[in-house]
Chain A
Amino acid sequence: QQQVKQSPQSLIVQKGGIPIINCAYENTAFDYFPWYQQFPGKGPALLIAIRPDVSEKKEGRFTISFNKSAKQFSLHIMDSQPGDSATYFCAAIIRGTSYGKLTFGQGTILTVHP
């Protein structure tokens, strides 16, 4: 059972475009939503994260938009660059010492053409 659904599976944009990756979750107990970025040959690394009491968070060119009522969140990459080409995973977690397990989306392969 996939508790976090991510789309699209792949995305191609031109340099300067604004790719948008969407995720939807089912478990309302999730209370932290990180995005991980993975380059070829490397493990995923935390990119940006949001809590459900916040509707938007920006870090540099990366923005998360969060819609708690719809149980959806999305990643926007402003002024995308070829160096942003990577696989992006959304995830969800119930924080706290008793849990700590990440549930990942299926991943989106982003290609930014020069």
Chain B
Amino acid sequence: DADVTQTPRNRITKTGKRIMLECSQTKGHDRMYWYRQDPGLGLRLIYYSFDVKDINKGEISDGYSVSRQAQAKFSLSLESAIPNQTALYFCATSDTDRGNQPQHFGDGTRLSIL
């Protein structure tokens, strides 16, 4: 079983819809992250959480929100999806006690907004 599981793996939806991407982990890590990947831009941090009560904005948080439901679960929501949010989204985790490295990534959610 994967240590970091993302659902769904693929999603096609329409402009204006609310979408939730879910991430769960079995690694027991405190820290969780959401990134988006776009060709030529690398991975950019959307939100991160250092523990259940701690949520922080990353470099591109506009249009997104997150919820840390438990140590093992971190979800990303697009309140009203727009086409330029079409991208590959990754969840990652890291262990505070090991200096936050490495980060362990899920296999991604490919999101297309029409």
Contacts and interface: CB of A to CB of B under 8 A. Distances in A.
Do A and B actually bind? yes
Interface in A64-114: 89, 93, 95-97, 99-102, 104-107
13 contacts: A9-B40, A32-B99, A34-B101, A43-B105, A46-B101, A46-B103, A95-B99, A95-B101, A100-B31, A100-B94, A105-B42, A106-B41, A107-B40
A53 B10 CA distance: 42
A63 B90 CA distance: 27
Contacts of A44: 43, 90, 105
Interface in B9-66: 31, 33, 40-45, 48, 50, 58
B92 interface: yes
Interface in A28-68: 32, 34, 41-46, 49
Interface in A5-41: 6, 9, 32, 34, 41
Interface residues of B, number: 25
A44 B108 CA distance: 10
Nearest to B103: A102
Given A43-B4, A43-B107, A89 B43 contact: yes
A102 B92 CA distance: 11
A41 B42 contact: no
Contacts of A105: 42
B50 A100 contact: yes
A43 B106 contact: yes
